[in-house]
Amino acid sequence: MSRAIVLCLLLAACGSSETRYAPATLESFGLTRSIALIDRNEHEVILLEAAPEQRLASKTIAVGKNISRALMSADARFLFVLSAGDSPRRKASDERPSLTVIDGETLAIVLRYELPILRDKLVLDPRGRYVALFAGDSTSAVVDNPNEIVLLDLAAEPSDANPLVHTLRSFGGRPQRFTFTDPLELPGGTRRLLVAETEKDVAILDLERMAGSKGEITVRLDLPSANASLAPNGLIADDGEAGRDDDARLAVRIKGDSAVLVLDLVANAAGDLTARTNLVDVGGEPSEISFVTTDGGRRMVALVPAMKHAALVTLATTAVQTMPLPAAYDRLAFVEEASQPTPRSALLWGQGVALWSLDLATGRPFASVESLALPGKIKEVRDLPGAPNQKLLIGDQNSFFVLDLRDRTVAPLLTQSNALQYYLPRDVRRLWAFQPAQARAARVNLDTLQAKSLVFDRNVHAMYELTYIDGDREGRALIALHGEGTVGATVLDPAIADEADARVYFGLMIGGVK
């Protein structure tokens, strides 16, 4: 079959003297039913939809002027676009900073907020309800308070209090990182917290008590007597046992330190929420901390790759049990099993991979870790669609592996380079591998582990699969984006993966698809 090439039509802009699209770097997002391309020049988002016979449809959505940042929600359905607005504003119609929320399934704006102040960093609530905005490292304002944050409640109507501007209590620091917790059973009821880390303290915000300062707790980590300060470096939250409201806690890593700060979330004498501090030395700077349920009960675990050990901490006494590991693992992920209320095993990776049986972690630690000898370091571990017992292990030795936790098999697949990127479409047993700025890619069938190579006409920037409705059936299309020039795409049937059957599009940023 001859290759059908469709030339996209140039967008007519008769008489327009505007300079057309000249992107520096393509920014794209794979939403659930569309691909979003960010067009900063035109203050727009271009949404691409798949259609039968390798066709593409596009829709252009205008967002606020001067896009500063875009983020996709955790479920990949929504795109959040933060815009700085017009600066300077000379007339009433000039735009203020704004946040636009686009639904990638309906291809429409679902929410738009005008923001009272300009903030250029964005944090999304993993549960999709809140958005936090805070200041970046530099400011264009004459004077700016970096501790002013903006909080949006997407479940509430826009109002004077939504978005809410809140100034964090500061002791000299400025926010570096935010974390939204899951609901926690706390004194006074179950609710969620927003935790801000600065260079020298941790601020805990009660999301249901943001009004005034009543809901804010600041844990200062500067130690005047030692003329030093502890710098928080990431945290996790744990709800403790179900039914108890006095055992929720936060665990905070400290930069460059072997201590982990554990904050017990308890009630003070007046019944208000406060934090009780505990420093736990885990024997070396931890690369990751988590809470696990072992045969000995609930523990905090800290991976210390420099010491090749995991530290298991009994939270009531802060007694530390050190468990030697066969290699320097620096990451941990739980293996979720539908039949188990809590994970019974965890995957450890870094210099190699191991499976850790949590049921043996405290009673027989020497027998709890089963290591898998793999060459090189594992850089990343991903879940594979449709198979909770399988994991994708991405190594640094021109290879990746498909790990089957049930069979304990590890299938190596060799790659051309260590710089490959991998795309795993949802709900289908396929993997796409490509090297950015090169024209070659591969498809791997995750059931048979058969690989098929593809060669495109142009370099690949990103690959996505989209579904479309064709009558009474659902189809799928693979879209390989080419980021050079005005941006193009090659569309083909992912099941067949035949270049000869592909359609190629050009100029997506200057006219869309006609």
Partner 1 sequence: MHGRTRWLDPPLLFFLTWLVACGTALQSGRYADEKLGGDSDASGNAGIPAAPTDGSERELESSFEAPVATGRYLWVANPLSGRVAYIDAASLAVSTVAAGNGPTHVAAIGNEDATIVINVRSNDATLLRLTATGITTKTYPLAPGMNHWSISKDGRYAIAWTDAKKVPLAQKTQGFQEITVVDLATDIATVLSVGYRPTQITFDAAAAQAFAMTADGISVIALATPAVIRNVRLADDLATAAKATDVSVNAAGTHAIVRFEGTDIVTVVRLADGTKTPLLLGTPVTDLDLLPAGDEAIAVMRESSSLALISVSDAPAPQSIALASQKMGSVTTAADAAIALLYTNASAVEEVSILSLGPPATARPARVYSRVLGAFATQDGAHAVVLHEPPASDGTGAFSLLPLAADLPAKIVATNAAPLFVALTADSSRALVVTADVGKKRQAAYLARMPALSTQAIELGSKPLAAGIVEGARRAFVAQSHPAGRVTFIHLDSGETRTLTGFELGARIATGGQP
* Shortest reach from residue 262's CB to partner 1, in Å: 8
Of the residues 190, 277, 409, 416, which one makes contact with partner 1 according to CB under 8 A: 277
Asked if 233 interacts with partner 1 (CB under 8 A), we say no
* Shortest reach from residue 276's CB to partner 1, in Å: 6
For residue 13 the two structure tokens come to: 């802009």
CB burial of residue 13 (10 Å; 0-12, 13-18, 19+): exposed
Asked if 278 interacts with partner 1 (CB under 8 A), we say yes
Nearer to partner 1, 108 or 228 (CB): 228
Q: How far apart are CA 372 and CA 418, in angstroms?
A: 21
Nearer to partner 1, 63 or 292 (CB): 292
Cis peptide before 88 (omega within 30 of 0): yes
Q: How far apart are CA 501 and CA 490, in angstroms?
A: 10
* Shortest reach from residue 299's CB to partner 1, in Å: 12
* Shortest reach from residue 18's CB to partner 1, in Å: 53
* Shortest reach from residue 134's CB to partner 1, in Å: 20
Q: Is the dihedral of CA 16, 19, 22, 26 positive or negative?
A: negative
Of the residues 4, 161, 316, 449, which one makes contact with partner 1 according to CB under 8 A: 316
Asked if 256 interacts with partner 1 (CB under 8 A), we say no
Asked if residue 513 lies in contact with residue 489, where contact means CB atoms within 8 angstroms, the answer is no
Q: How far apart are CA 481 and CA 313, in angstroms?
A: 48
Total of chain residues touching partner 1, rule CB under 8 A: 35
Give the other-Cβ count within 10 Å of 509's Cβ.
26
The per-residue DSSP string of 397-438 comes to SSEEEEEETTTTEEEEEE-S-TT-EEE--TTSSEEEEE-TTE
Asked if 269 interacts with partner 1 (CB under 8 A), we say yes
Q: How far apart are CA 506 and CA 68, in angstroms?
A: 26
Residue with tokens 């009004």: 211
Part in contact with partner 1 (CB under 8 A); list of ranges 146-154, 191-199, 217-225, 363-371: 217-225
Asked if 268 interacts with partner 1 (CB under 8 A), we say yes
Closest listed residue to residue 368, CA positions, set 346, 337, 340, 391: 346
Of the residues 88, 212, 243, 471, which one makes contact with partner 1 according to CB under 8 A: 212
Asked if 255 interacts with partner 1 (CB under 8 A), we say no
Beta strands 222-223 and 249-254, pairing class: unpaired
Residues 118-157: x where in contact with partner 1 by CB under 8 A, - otherwise, as a string: ----------------------------------------
Nearer to partner 1, 278 or 415 (CB): 278
Q: How far apart are CA 66 and CA 48, in angstroms?
A: 21
Asked if 214 interacts with partner 1 (CB under 8 A), we say yes
Part in contact with partner 1 (CB under 8 A); list of ranges 6-14, 31-39, 174-182, 311-319: 311-319
* Shortest reach from residue 359's CB to partner 1, in Å: 20
Nearer to partner 1, 261 or 479 (CB): 261
Asked if 199 interacts with partner 1 (CB under 8 A), we say no
Q: How far apart are CA 116 and CA 513, in angstroms?
A: 36
Q: How far apart are CA 230 and CA 389, in angstroms?
A: 39
Which residues are at the interface with partner 1 (CB under 8 A)?
Answer: 169, 212-214, 216-226, 261, 266, 268-269, 272-281, 314, 316-320
